[in-house]
């Protein structure tokens, strides 16, 4: 794709502008580092364009404060670009008002409820860019039906872009997506016993 020029021009009846502005599904998968980081980079671009951005974290602990969360929340509240909504499992999903004494939900239940919220937001066209961080995991584990996800994404209204990250993305999702990047690992500091560090992993 030299200088951003496509190598193929499909005979689909669309104008160049229509084809350029169609909604996309991205998948960042593979065992290498950088899947979420790349997705948050897209979120920064979307924010700069004034797009509303929704981040949904499906696996990372609700107590884990990743650097991108703080940065995007501040940017979203700045009034300079788009708004940013950040949602984490177990951190006050609006429809869960459960007393901790009643017992905690399973991660599977939380993931399913998170997906239900994504479906509602897609139907309402709440965001222009959705980052479904680590969403490949609940699909891989069978917690959420991949065929249903593909059907919902195929029929989403408007021009909503969706980025899904996580290892082991199901093959059906890979085939459906418009852009798929497999992050391979060549070397990693953890291979030599170094633990993750502040400013690099979070």
Domain contains 44 = yes
Q: What is the DSSP string of 80-148?
A: SS--EEEEETTS--TT----GGG-PPPHHHHHHHHHHHHHHHHHHT--SEEEEETTHHHHHTTSS-HHH
Looking at residue 152, the DSSP 8-state letter turns out to be H
**Which region among 63-67, 95-99, 129-133, 171-175 has the lowest average model confidence (pLDDT)?**
95-99
Domain contains 155 = yes
pLDDT tens digit string along 73-125?
899 999 999 999 999 875 544 434 444 445 667 788 889 999 999 999 999 99
Q: How confident is the model at residue 1 (pLDDT cuts 50, 70, 90)?
A: very low
- Whether the CA torsion 43, 141, 156, 57 is positive or negative: it is negative
pLDDT tens digit string along 24-54?
999 999 999 999 999 999 999 999 999 999 9
Domain that holds residue 124: 18-60+77-92+106-183
What is the spatial distance between Cα 52 and Cα 181, in angstroms, rounded to a whole number?
Answer: 24
What is the spatial distance between Cα 58 and Cα 88, in angstroms, rounded to a whole number?
Answer: 7
pLDDT tens digit string along 62-74?
556 677 888 898 9
| Predicted pLDDT at 64 | 60
148-168: average pLDDT: 97
| Predicted pLDDT at 92 | 44
Domain contains 192 = no
Q: What is the CATH number of the domain that holds 48?
A: 3.40.50.300
Domain contains 202 = no
Tokens of 157: 């209204």
The contacts of residue 68 (CB under 8 Å, 6+ apart) are 36, 37, 40, 43
CA 189 to chain centre: 26
Domain contains 190 = no
| Predicted pLDDT at 10 | 75
* Domains identified in the chain, total number: 1
Domain contains 70 = no
Nearest to 22 by CA among 30, 31, 32, 12: 12
């Amino acid at each position: 794709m030299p200088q951003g020029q496509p190598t193929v021009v499909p005979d689909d009846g669309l104008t160049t502008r229509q084809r350029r502005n169609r909604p996309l599904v991205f998948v960042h998968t593979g065992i290498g580092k950088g899947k979420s980081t790349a997705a948050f980079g897209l979120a920064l671009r979307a924010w700069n364009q004034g797009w509303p951005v929704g981040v949904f974290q499906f696996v990372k602990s609700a107590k884990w404060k990743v650097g991108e969360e703080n940065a995007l929340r501040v940017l979203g509240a700045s009034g300079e670009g788009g708004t940013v909504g950040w949602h984490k499992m177990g951190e006050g999903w609006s429809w869960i008002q459960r007393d901790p004494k009643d017992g905690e939900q399973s991660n599977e239940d939380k993931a399913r409820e998170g997906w239900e919220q994504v479906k509602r937001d897609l139907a309402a066209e709440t965001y222009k860019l959705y980052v479904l961080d680590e969403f490949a995991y609940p699909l891989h584990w069978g917690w959420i039906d991949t065929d249903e996800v593909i059907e919902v994404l195929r029929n989403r209204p408007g021009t909503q872009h969706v980025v899904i990250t996580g290892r082991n993305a199901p093959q059906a999702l890979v085939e459906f997506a418009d852009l798929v990047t497999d992050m391979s690992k060549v070397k990693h500091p953890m291979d030599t016993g170094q633990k993750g560090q502040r400013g690099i992993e979070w």
